[in-house]
């Protein structure tokens, strides 16, 4: 889909999202403000924000692939994957309290995270290339968030909003891929001790590896290389779950162990 907005309109959309981060007040859907917003426009809006953040000293630590499962696509009303950037300051420690009010409208989803031991340069990356590049897999929880009010997003809206990125909690048990069947790796997601979702790796484009291949080839066509040491979140194994201050969410993966996100209640910060 070709661009429809002019540079000034793209810059305006980027400023609106950056203001939402600063003011903590979400904005109307960008597709309502700029009805012609296309996927190409939206990635330009995302990259304008990324350029500003990196110029301010934030460090890119990896990428995420979003909207890879049928459950998430149904939940958000979209029909194709997208990608966003992960920054080093978006990572939180396993089981350690996350400050209440850090996010605007957080939801959480379990993912099989990858840490790359070798760079991946697309286009032309194959499954074999992707497998060879992964140093290890790790249990992960992604906190998605939206600067768009009430999650009323289309595909261009979420792309422009850095693929609705919020935060990441990585588990502490690295597991080599040898012997792992990522398609059948199951997960049980609990919120405050109660099971709220179950799923398996096949929910992510048939296999999380397929999402990594898609990412490497998609960003490679734009001249971006996935660097060694970077973290890739290939997509959620279940639908996203709403979270609030005071919640504790644990994802338990077969063969990968568990990871916990703890959201501090406001009273814990007094």
At 135-154, the pLDDT tens digits run: 999 999 999 999 999 999 98
pLDDT for the residue 124: 97
Distance CA 183, CA 15 (A): 40
Q: Residue 71: what pLDDT?
A: 67
Percent of the chain predicted with pLDDT > 90: 87
pLDDT bracket for residue 268 (50, 70, 90): low
Say what percent of the chain tops pLDDT 70.
96
Residue 95 Cα distances to 29, 199, 248, angstroms: 34, 22, 8
Tens digit of each residue's pLDDT (9 = 90 or more) over 32-70: 999 999 999 999 999 999 999 999 999 999 999 998 877
Q: What is the mean pLDDT of the chain?
A: 94
Q: Is the pLDDT of residue 266 over 80?
A: no
Average pLDDT over residues 119-146: 97
Chain-centroid distance, C-alpha 2:
24
- Rounded Cα distance, 133 and 45, in Å: 30
| Tens digits of residue pLDDT in 66-118 | 988 776 677 667 677 899 999 999 999 999 999 978 999 999 999 999 999 99
CA–CA distance, 122 with 66 (Å, rounded to integer): 19
The bridge status of strand 186-191 relative to strand 60-66 is unpaired
Tell me how far apart the alpha carbons of residues 39 and 3 are, in angstroms, rounded to a whole number.
8
pLDDT the model gives residue 72:
66
Q: What average pLDDT does range 235-264 have in this prediction?
A: 96
Q: Which of 1-15, 38-52, 137-151, 199-213 has the lowest mean pLDDT?
A: 1-15
Q: What's the pLDDT score for residue 73? A: 73
Q: DSSP string spanning the chain?
A: ----S-HHHHHHHHHHHHHHHHH---B--HHHHSTT--HHHHHHHHHHHHHHHHHTT--EEEEEEES-SHHHHHHHT--S-EEEEEEGGGEE-TTSEEPTTSSSS-EEEEEEEEEESS-B--SS--HHHHHHHEEEEEEEEEEE--SBGGG---HHHHHHTGGGEEEEEE-S--B-STT--TTT-EEEEEETTEEEEEEEGGGTTTSHHHHHHHHHHHHHTTT--B-TT-EEE--BSS--EE--TT-EEEEEETTTEEEEEEE--GGGG-
Kindly calculate the radius of gyration of the chain based on its CA atoms and give it in whole angstroms.
18
Candidates 91, 60, 62, 240; CA nearest to 172 is 91
Residue 126: pLDDT band with limits 50, 70, 90: very high
* Residue range 156-180, pLDDT digits in tens: 999 999 999 999 999 999 999 998 9
């Amino acid at each position: 889909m070709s661009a429809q907005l002019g540079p000034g309109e793209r810059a305006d959309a980027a400023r609106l999202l950056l203001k939402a981060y600063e003011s903590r007040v979400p904005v109307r859907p960008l597709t309502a403000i700029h009805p012609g917003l296309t996927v190409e426009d939206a990635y330009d809006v995302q990259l304008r924000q990324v350029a500003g953040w990196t110029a301010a000293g934030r460090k890119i630590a990896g990428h995420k692939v979003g909207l890879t499962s049928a459950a998430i696509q149904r939940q958000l009303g979209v029909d194709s994957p997208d990608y966003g950037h992960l920054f080093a300051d978006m990572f939180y420690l396993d089981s350690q309290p996350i400050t209440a009010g850090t996010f605007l409208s957080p939801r959480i989803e379990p993912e099989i995270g990858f840490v790359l031991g070798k760079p991946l340069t697309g286009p032309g990356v194959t499954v074999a290339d992707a497998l060879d590049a992964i140093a290890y897999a790790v249990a992960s929880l992604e906190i998605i968030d939206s600067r768009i009010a009430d999650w009323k997003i289309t595909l261009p809206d979420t792309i422009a909003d850095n693929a609705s990125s919020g935060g990441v909690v990585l588990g502490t048990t690295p597991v080599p891929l040898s012997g792992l069947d990522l398609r059948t790796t199951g997960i049980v997601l609990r919120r405050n001790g109660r099971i709220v979702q179950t799923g398996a790796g096949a929910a992510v484009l048939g296999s999380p590896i397929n999402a990594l291949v898609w990412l490497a080839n998609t960003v490679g066509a734009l001249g971006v290389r996935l660097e060694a040491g970077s973290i890739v979140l290939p997509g959620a194994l279940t639908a996203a779950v709403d979270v609030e201050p005071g919640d504790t969410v644990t994802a338990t993966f077969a063969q990968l162990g568990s990871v916990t996100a703890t959201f501090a209640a406001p009273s814990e910060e007094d």
